């Protein structure tokens, strides 16, 4: 069964062009790592002038925590995040240690 997942984070105004540039040409190895972690239909949307990023993906695996742990341990993921994380700003309301804030789904039309 596929789980639909949404999340939100801020983007720093002075880093927006860099963030867009990185995502205009994502690394094939990073895309492959996401796919290997059972992630599909991954999209990131930008809301200006609020400078909010909304991410959506579908997870089709059976052990989300394990897949995310493996994804986080991959060298390519660490390299990608070293470039993208400085562009982002967690929400002021984020839980301690939370980077992207998860958003619970409240409605879905099938």
The structural domain count of the chain equals 1
Domain membership of residue 82 (yes or no) is: yes
**pLDDT tens sequence across 23-42:** 999 999 999 999 999 999 99
Report the CATH number that the domain containing residue 8 is assigned in CATH: 3.30.70.100
Dihedral sign, CA of 81, 104, 6, 12? negative
User: What's the token pair of residue 44?
Assistant: 């990131």
Burial, 22: exposed, middle or buried (Cβ in 10 Å; 0-12, 13-18, 19+)?
A: middle
Q: Output the pTM of the full model.
A: 0.91
pLDDT reading at 1 higher than 90: no
Nearest to 100 by CA among 4, 8, 6, 5: 8
Q: How far apart are CA 17 and CA 14, in angstroms?
A: 7
Task: Indicate whether 35 belongs to any domain.
Answer: yes
Residue-level length of the chain: 110
* 44 within domain boundaries: yes
Residue 42 included in any domain: yes
Domain that includes residue 65, residue range: 3-103
Is there a domain that residue 108 lies in? no
Q: What is the mean pLDDT of residues 50-63?
A: 97
């Amino acid at each position: 069964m596929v789980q639909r997942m949404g999340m939100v984070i801020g983007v720093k105004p002075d880093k927006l062009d860099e963030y867009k540039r990185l995502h205009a040409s994502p690394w094939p190895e990073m895309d492959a790592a996401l796919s290997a972690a059972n992630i599909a239909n991954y999209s990131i949307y930008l809301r200006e002038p609020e400078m909010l990023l909304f991410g959506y993906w579908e997870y089709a695996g059976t052990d989300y925590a394990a897949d995310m742990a493996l994804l986080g341990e991959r060298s390519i993921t660490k390299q990608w995040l070293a470039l993208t994380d400085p562009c982002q700003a967690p929400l002021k309301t984020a839980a301690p240690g939370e980077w992207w804030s998860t958003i619970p789904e409240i409605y879905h039309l099938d």
